[in-house]
Amino acid sequence: MNAPASEERLEQLREKAWQKGVVPGRGVDVVGGPIPRKPGYYGQPVVKPPVWTWEVPLYFFVGGIAGMSAVIACGAVIFHHGDPSLAMKVGVARMAMWLAAIAGAVLSPMLLIMDLGRPRLFLNMLRVFKYRSAMSMGAWILSAFGASVVPGLIALELHAHQIFPGTLDQILRLAAGIFIFGSAIFGALLATYTGVLIGATAIPAWFLHRTLLPIHFGTAGLGCAAAMLELLGHRIPALNFIGFYAAAVESVLLIWLSVNKHGAADRAIHEHGSGWLIRIGEILNGPLALVLRFFSFIPLAALSYLIGALISRIGWIAVGKVSGSDPESVFAAERC
């Protein structure tokens, strides 16, 4: 092709690009040319964004409440200023164990199975134990938590109502204490492993905050468990202290997220609808809950914290979808 014909063809391509924004045909998408290049890998995302639906953020939220309720129940028994047996019979310990059992042994497996689609898939995850897989560890942690909290609750209720007096009652008391302690261990893991799960991925905004996420999820679960117990009528100084602590930590995390930016790599946290969800959630369960609790508006503070924690979970899933679909974020994360 001679020079005039080449120049004429190039002018035609420029004209089409200006008019339609795209030029059909092969061999015209060139670096520095008049046609915008497709982002990513041939127009496709570099990494596969998560396909999780509403069940997963709700599972993260409910699982956090369940796990940390067991931790609170264990603390109520261990640090009771009188007879530990009395703490088992009345007060926070029994309500916390009921909350842990309902949320952790009933609702959490249901939500996880709904996300997987078939109960058999959940059982298949228990066929092998992969300690390097956060997903496999999560299934085993949830199963071990249920296996601890349910017999612990049964033993606790039998002891509380003195169904079997005498030596058998003392055995039930000991069994309740052992199972409550086991529930607390697996409960702490249940509330924090979800942060490890999403941090151990190639999604830029998740991976860059992989150290922060388990702390954030665990603290949110602790604050939500305390808030639920307060809304159920247990207004005691220990729960109020936990509420103050959790709201203060979330306030610090909000500041940290606002300051520790990675540019395009984690802009899904600071921009788009996903960024708004994160900020709204953190404000509700951070500064707002802290102020309400400071002025002794305990029910409002508890509600604010619960709503904020749920919105925050939804926000983190939305962040993963936006960040995973953004090729520029993936490329920028590799340079961080």
Residues 10-41 have pLDDT tens digits of: 777 777 777 766 655 555 555 555 545 555 56
Question: How far apart (Å, rounded) are the C-alpha atoms in residues 313 and 311?
Answer: 5
Residue 215 has pLDDT above 90, yes or no: yes
Under the banding of pLDDT at 50, 70 and 90, the label for residue 334 is confident
pLDDT at position 8:
76
pLDDT at position 1:
45
Mean pLDDT of the chain: 85
Return the closest-CA partner of residue 280 out of 249, 248, 319, 308. Answer: 308
Question: How far apart (Å, rounded) are the C-alpha atoms in residues 155 and 101?
Answer: 13
Question: How far apart (Å, rounded) are the C-alpha atoms in residues 167 and 152?
Answer: 18
Are 206 and 323 contacting, i.e. CB atoms less than 8 angstroms apart? yes
Residues 51-109 have pLDDT tens digits of: 888 999 999 999 999 999 999 999 988 877 555 555 544 578 899 999 999 999 999 99
